[in-house]
Amino acid sequence: MTPRIQQLREQSLNAVYRISAERGLLMTEFYKNHVDPDDSIPVQRAKSFEYILSNKSICINELELIVGERGPAPKATPTYPEITVHSLHDLEILHSREKVWFRVDDQTRSSFEKTIIPFWNGRSNRDRMMEAMTSEWHDAYNAGIFTEFMEQRAPGHTVAGYKIYRKGMLDIIQDVEESMNSLDLINDPLAHDKKEELKGMKIVANAMIFFANRHADKLEKLAKTETNIERKAELTEIARICRRVPAYAPATFHEVLQHYWFVHLGVVTELNPWDSFNPGRLDQHLNSYYLKEIAQGTLTKEQAVELLESFWVKFNNHPSPPKIGITALESSTYTDFCLINLGGVKPDGTDAVNEMTYILLDVIEEMRLLQPSSMVQLSKLNPDSFIDRAVKITKTGFGQPSIFNTDAIIQELLNQGKNIVDARNGGCSGCVETGAFGIESYILCGYFNLPKILELTLHNGFDPRTHKQIGLKTGEVSEFKSYHNLLAAFKAQVEHFVRIKITGSNVIENIFMEHMPTPFLSLIIDDCVARGMDYIQGGSRYNTNYIQGVGVGTMTDALTALKKHVFEDKSISLPAFVAALESNFENNDELLYKLLYKTPKYGNDDEVADEQLVDVFNIYYDAVKGHKSPRGAEYRINLLPTTCHVYFGSVMHASADGRKAGLPVSEGISPVQGSDRNGPTSVLKSAAKIDHLHTGGTLLNQKFSPNFFEDDTAIRKVSGLVRSYFRMNGHHIQFNVVNASTLRDAQKHPEKYRNLIVRVAGYSDYFNDLGLDLQNEIIERTEHDSF
Amino acid sequence: MLDDLAHPILLLGTFTTCKKTGLQKQPSFKFTNFTSIIPPFFIFKMGIIFDIKRFAVHDGPGIRTTVFMKGCPLSCQWCHNPESISAAICTVPKTVRIGNKTFTENEIVGREMTVEEVMKELCREKIFMEETGGGVTFSGGEPLQQADFLQEMLNACKAERMHATVDTSGFSSWKTLEKIAENTDLFLYDLKLIDDALHKTYTGVSNKLMLENLEKLLEKGKKVRIRIPAIPGITFTEVNIQQTLNYLSKLKFKVEGVDLLPYHNTASHKYERFGLEYKLGELKTIKKTDLAETKQRFEKAGFEVKIGG
């Protein structure tokens, strides 16, 4: 690491998370005093974007090589009042909460109080949405049956494809004009809407060019006064680059990184989409630029690494926008889930690992930052040296990169009806979500609490926590004569709540389609320009909505326990079982003992337990698949939790697997914490019984003791373990390489472990930044040691 | 005599009648005169297995499943699996605490299994074996104690194209070992003490036969890795290490490599649980770093060496 990168990295790590009122104020000012009410909504939105980029402060950090900040300074985080307007109370919570805080100074507070809140109160999307939801939706939401991703943030979960690395904004403007010229104004009923949308796209493309030039202006000014000759030359060169990109297609390695970064800033300034934005298959996009300049002698490997590391710091400067309430519970982290993909296959189906892949892996290892997140796509075509290199980084214990199965991803995408080349160009973003990069809008709608629905089933649709009848009356427990009856009741409840969830999501999607077009994002994702349609309105080539199932392990073990003890062994009646759960097993240690030690558990390659896993999967899959959204997306499932398994557990009584009331449910598709006793191969065999190819992503966490990864032979074995799982069509696996004793010590002495990073679920985080219940949950996960 | 040791079942002539009358599922057998009790179902190709461990990564190449077979003619004082020494199925109390209550039940150590039953378990892991060049390892106890069953198992592994390793002390008749060697891909062969008097003291038997068998196996061209348990003050002494080095260097045919197995002081609680006396008392646990110098010595002599297997 060069001294410059060390300094930039330190600057980023030491920057204080804080709320910036800048964007909120500019947005308010635009809609108060500058908006033309005669403009269409896409044009209004485009002009508001233009207004922000023309007026926001330009930040050039000392020594950096890639420039541009979303806020006025690193980690100064904007808010999006048109989506969610934070009250003074919200600001106080953000300021003073123990974890994932954002400091709010007096001036910011006053800006909110005097300007932002009065204007946006009642006009934000969140206000519109909450008003539009039915009481059955609110009841289910408040009971913790599901969460809603669009409550405080905009739809996103999308990734840059090839286009953005090959075209400048001027090229795209030309495409916009062509699209405009080809509008069929006398036959197409949507032609007028398309024209307005395309007008908006042109405005934002020009606004972005202007924004880059504002950086060039400032850089030239700085260069003039800079006394250090080397830095002066750098500033002049970066100014030159900002005059070129993103207006023109990038020509050099430095230009392509700066080019992407401006695009990234555009997406996260326009709105606050989930998962920020994502450069996608970075090794594929950068390699030709790198090789060309190496051949020309205009770039050295060391310079390339320094540029990449400067680029890395930019991501770390940009925490996830502030979240409150249930949104904060389901995703309690600063990480904004930009997941860089490496490896996989080329569009022609051959091995895509290249020189840049290995350089980027070096960068990941050296930077050791939470953001950007990184993953490797492993295809059967990729060499062992690639996976071994990735596992060696995992061994250093910060949970990156995670490992994905390219061959499964391609099959998942084909199964969704994508063509083979689009599928090969795809990958995963966020935690583990599958998508066709650059051409798909795949939106996560919220988490779905499967174990809670079993709890409701055991109460005839009544929620014992909120004391409301929110589910169907599927029968008193005393009436269930067979396991089959119980399972059928559960299935009916799942279908009921999936219907409520999707109904709500569709209404919300309509609200976004009407009020929140995203002309800038639409420039980036094909075929929005060609179709003259906004990203949010279905302009992308492919559209998918995901609902993320949580607690599959807990569900499986609970069903197995009920099946065995109530209906097969008949050692306890169902009413008595439910009473024991309600009392949190008080005075019922015998039952708890039986549940914990005398019941087959998922994760042990035991057919008796895993049979219920398949049932749960099929019930959930069948309930969701095939439904349609207003923009034409098809609903599908994936299985991942972020931090939602902690929240979902907190709204539940004890569950039939022996989990006590309030404790987290299982995460991802991992077994219940501590219940997998036969080692990792058995976990993988059990997990592979899920039909991964019918999902848009599953998340499997495995914890290993560091001494397992002792030498190259052990690394090979871990790589082989991964390859085996992928041969069984497993979608994703990630490793926590840390001892439980280390984690316990870190709880006692947080000050000694300020740099301890762990894998949570689909992302890494500082252990100190996790809530106590999540810390405990990670400690409880089974640790595989070497036998 | 040697045949008798390797095939104790042959002494039990009366049980062949069991085969004829088909009494193999008779629930209890009373044996009084044997320390190693071999139940009669043996001859029906059943083995007594005390554990099948998946994801074994220190018992040979790749990811393996290790089948621990019960019964051992040696009684090494440092034995990590004291419950494996006796061939008899036994029970040990196991205690679990839930809330304020303690639950105790008898855990059965040892299980009679047919070749098919064991193969079914092994086949579960086939994908990992294939992907990592792994396979199955028969360990114990002493797997040669159940030679007939072992041989059937090895035949079955061969049919399934599973790499088979036998982890043994080599304490059996050559005739038995030779037969086992036919379908064994790799031997993990214990070499504890070269000094025979010390060997007798600490393991209860002479090493003469084991050394002869090792040489014969190598002569036959079998792949053998030597495993040396590094027990402080017993096997991990300057004298024994030098003697071992001399012995291995002088062998006409070379071993595949040497594994130095560091002693862990973790077995003592196991002895307690099984109600056995742990004669070694408090020995210092050996760290990997303590073996670095020894590793170098073996490497200098031309051996490939791994610490921890």
Q: Identity (one letter) of the amino acid at A247?
A: A
Task: Give dist(CA A623, CA B202) in Å, integer.
Answer: 66
pLDDT, average across residues A293-311: 98
- The pLDDT score that the predictor gives to residue B44 is 55
Q: Is the pLDDT of residue A370 over 80?
A: yes
Cross-chain residue pair B58–A787, CB shorter than 8 Å: yes
- Contact in structure between A257 and A293 (CB atoms under 8 Å): no
Q: Is the pLDDT of residue B13 over 80?
A: no
Cross-chain residue pair B131–A593, CB shorter than 8 Å: no
- Contact in structure between A638 and A443 (CB atoms under 8 Å): no
- The pLDDT score that the predictor gives to residue B27 is 33
Per residue in A87-99, pLDDT (tens digit) is 999 999 999 999 9
pLDDT, average across residues A727-739: 95
Q: Is the pLDDT of residue B35 over 60?
A: no
Task: Give dist(CA A337, CA A320) in Å, integer.
Answer: 8
Cross-chain residue pair A786–B101, CB shorter than 8 Å: no
- The pLDDT score that the predictor gives to residue A397 is 84
Q: Name the residue among A694, A665, A670 with its Cα closest to residue A680.
A: A670
Q: Is the pLDDT of residue A547 over 80?
A: yes
Angle at A415 between CA A414 and CA A418, to 5 degrees: 40
Q: Please say whether the dihedral angle defined by the alpha carbons of residues A455, A458, A460 and A466, taken in this order, is positive or negative.
A: negative
The model's confidence at residue B92, banded by pLDDT at 50, 70 and 90, is confident
Place of tokens 């569709």: A506
Q: How far is CA A221 from CA A230, A304, B20, in A?
A: 16, 26, 102
pLDDT, average across residues A694-700: 97
A9 in contact with chain B, both atoms CB, cutoff 8 A? no
With a CB cutoff of 8 Å and minimum separation 6, the contacts of A271 are A80, A83, A153, A154, A156, A516, A518, A521
Q: Name the residue among B140, B94, B80, B84 with its Cα closest to residue B267.
A: B80
Active site residues of A: 431, 433
Long-range contacts formed by B106-111: CB under 8 A, 24+ apart: B109/B50, B109/B70, B109/B83, B109/B274, B110/B48, B110/B49, B110/B50, B110/B70, B111/B48, B111/B49, B111/B50
Task: Calculate how close chain B gets to A664, using CA atoms only, in Å.
Answer: 19
A34 in contact with chain B, both atoms CB, cutoff 8 A? no
Task: Give dist(CA A681, CA B273) in Å, integer.
Answer: 29
- Round the average pLDDT of chain A to a whole number and report it: 96
pLDDT, average across residues B146-172: 97
- The pLDDT score that the predictor gives to residue B29 is 35
Task: Calculate how close chain A gets to B92, using CA atoms only, in Å.
Answer: 17
* Pairing assessment for the beta strands A468-469 and A462-463 based on DSSP bridges: antiparallel
Q: Identity (one letter) of the amino acid at A32?
A: K
Q: Please say whether the dihedral angle defined by the alpha carbons of residues B210, B215, B219 and B223, taken in this order, is positive or negative.
A: positive
Structural domains of chain B, ranges and CATH numbers in brackets: 43-85+108-307 (3.20.20.70)
The DSSP bridge partners found for residue A628 are: A634
Task: Calculate how close chain A gets to B266, using CA atoms only, in Å.
Answer: 13
- Contact in structure between A165 and A260 (CB atoms under 8 Å): yes
- Contact in structure between A280 and A339 (CB atoms under 8 Å): no
Q: Name the residue among A359, A391, A314, A431 with its Cα closest to residue A75.
A: A314
In a mutational test of the B interface, the residue from A378, A586, A589 whose CB has the highest number of chain B CBs within 10 Å is A589
pLDDT, average across residues A158-179: 97
Strand, coil or helix: A570: coil
Q: Is the pLDDT of residue B51 over 70?
A: yes
Strand, coil or helix: A609: helix
Centroid of chain to Cα B59: 11
Q: Identity (one letter) of the amino acid at A768?
A: N
Q: Is the peptide bond before A246 cis (omega within 30 degrees of 0)?
A: yes
Quick one: tokens of A298? 């205009």
- The pLDDT score that the predictor gives to residue B20 is 33
Cross-chain residue pair A679–B54, CB shorter than 8 Å: yes
- The pLDDT score that the predictor gives to residue A786 is 58
Task: Calculate how close chain B gets to A752, using CA atoms only, in Å.
Answer: 26
Per residue in A380-405, pLDDT (tens digit) is 999 999 999 999 999 988 889 999 99
pLDDT, average across residues A159-185: 97
The shortest CB-CB distance from B131 to any of A592, A710, A727 is to A727
Q: Please say whether the dihedral angle defined by the alpha carbons of residues A342, A521, A308 and A444, taken in this order, is positive or negative.
A: negative
pLDDT, average across residues B16-30: 33
Cross-chain residue pair B63–A681, CB shorter than 8 Å: yes
Sort out which chain B residues have CB atoms less than 8 A from A681's CB and list them: 54-55, 63, 125, 128
The DSSP bridge partners found for residue B193 are: none
Task: Give dist(CA A651, CA A559) in Å, integer.
Answer: 19
Per residue in A756-781, pLDDT (tens digit) is 888 888 888 889 889 899 999 999 88
Q: Please say whether the dihedral angle defined by the alpha carbons of residues A774, A776, A782 and A786, taken in this order, is positive or negative.
A: positive
Q: What is the pTM of this model?
A: 0.93
In a mutational test of the B interface, the residue from A378, A384, A724 whose CB has the highest number of chain B CBs within 10 Å is A724
A229 in contact with chain B, both atoms CB, cutoff 8 A? no
- Contact in structure between B146 and B47 (CB atoms under 8 Å): yes
Cross-chain residue pair B54–A716, CB shorter than 8 Å: no
Task: Give dist(CA A149, CA A328) in Å, integer.
Answer: 11
Sort out which chain B residues have CB atoms less than 8 A from A710's CB and list them: 308
Cross-chain residue pair B127–A728, CB shorter than 8 Å: yes
The nearest alpha carbon in chain B to A686 belongs to: B124
Task: Give dist(CA A243, CA A216) in Å, integer.
Answer: 6
A681 in contact with chain B, both atoms CB, cutoff 8 A? yes
In A89-157, at which residue ranges do the beta strands (DSSP E only) sit?
Answer: none
Angle at A460 between CA A458 and CA A462, to 5 degrees: 100
- The pLDDT score that the predictor gives to residue B23 is 35
The shortest CB-CB distance from B55 to any of A589, A713, A787 is to A787
Sort out which chain B residues have CB atoms less than 8 A from A716's CB and list them: 132
pLDDT, average across residues A606-626: 97
Expressed in angstroms, the distance from the first to the final Cα of chain A is: 37
Place of tokens 């070096």: A362
Task: Give dist(CA B182, CA A186) in Å, integer.
Answer: 85
The DSSP bridge partners found for residue A463 are: A468
Q: Is the pLDDT of residue A416 over 90?
A: yes
Centroid of chain to Cα B189: 9
With a CB cutoff of 8 Å and minimum separation 6, the contacts of A429 are A157, A158, A159, A275, A278, A280, A337, A338, A339, A435
Helical ranges in A728-758 per DSSP H: 740-748
A784 in contact with chain B, both atoms CB, cutoff 8 A? yes
- The pLDDT score that the predictor gives to residue B41 is 45
Of residues A749 and A484, more confidence is placed in A484
Q: What is the full DSSP assignment across B198-228?
A: HHHHHHSS-SHHHHHHHHHHHHTT--EEEEE
ipTM rounded to 2 decimals: 0.92
Cross-chain residue pair A716–B101, CB shorter than 8 Å: no
Sort out which chain B residues have CB atoms less than 8 A from A730's CB and list them: none
Quick one: tokens of A655? 């569950």
